[in-house]
Amino acid sequence: MAKFNPPESFPFDRPTEWSDWKQRFQRFRVATKLNKEDGEVQVSSLIYAMGPEAENIFKAFTFAEDADKKKFDVVLGKYDEYFYPKRNVIHERACFHQRVQRPGEKAEMFIRALYELSEHCAFGAQREEHIRDRIVVGISDKEMSRKLQLETQLTLSQTIQAVRQSEEVTRQVNQQGETCAAVQEVSHAKSPYRGKQQWKNKERKW
């Protein structure tokens, strides 16, 4: 059986990384079947993996019932509240809806940024729809944007696939153009006719 190591201790000086760290621990929890263990074991594993500072934070938590200290989801939620204080949803959504693909930014980075921004927008079940719409109107390729807006049954996965393919085709076309231009330049430099022409020009000078 494969052995899985827990993620490295959480960097408490960078609280914005909590979401990524938590996701890594959740994967570790499933891969090692830790999620099948008793709640108290899971809580202890979480705190131990996070590092010594997590112990001090845990001691400061208040619980509705003493038994909640041994419930993994409850304790994890407490750490969520600690690292992510209550946010202004209106502000978070404004940042999300103002996000566009920046000059020189790859589509993959733009899509990833939208996923991250949407985490705190409280979109609920409509999260994927909002991300899809933001990709469609926010991509820098306006021709692709217009094509996608004509689709009436467009899903998020279809949108991402179309944008990725469009970007890849554009990259390949540009690369082909650069290659052809380089070949033509080399061919012109080695052209026998060009050599003869240069010789004739020298003869005329005499």
Q: By C-alpha distance, which of 66, 1, 70, 82 is closest to 41?
A: 70
Dist. CA 93–CA 95, nearest whole Å: 5
Pinpoint the alpha helices (H) of 32-155.
39-50, 52-60, 72-83, 89-98, 107-118, 127-138, 142-149
So what's the pLDDT on residue 198? 55
pLDDT in tens, 8-28: 999 999 998 999 999 999 999
Q: By C-alpha distance, which of 37, 67, 120 is closest to 75?
A: 67
Q: By C-alpha distance, which of 164, 152, 70, 67 is closest to 112?
A: 164
Per-residue pLDDT of the chain (206 residues; tens, 9 = 90+): 568 899 999 999 999 899 999 999 999 999 999 999 999 999 999 999 999 999 999 999 999 999 999 999 999 999 999 998 778 999 999 999 999 999 999 999 999 999 999 988 999 999 999 999 999 999 999 999 999 999 999 999 999 999 999 999 988 888 876 665 555 665 655 655 555 555 455 555 55
Contacts of 47 (CB under 8 A, 6+ apart): 54, 55, 58
So what's the pLDDT on residue 133? 98
So what's the pLDDT on residue 183? 56
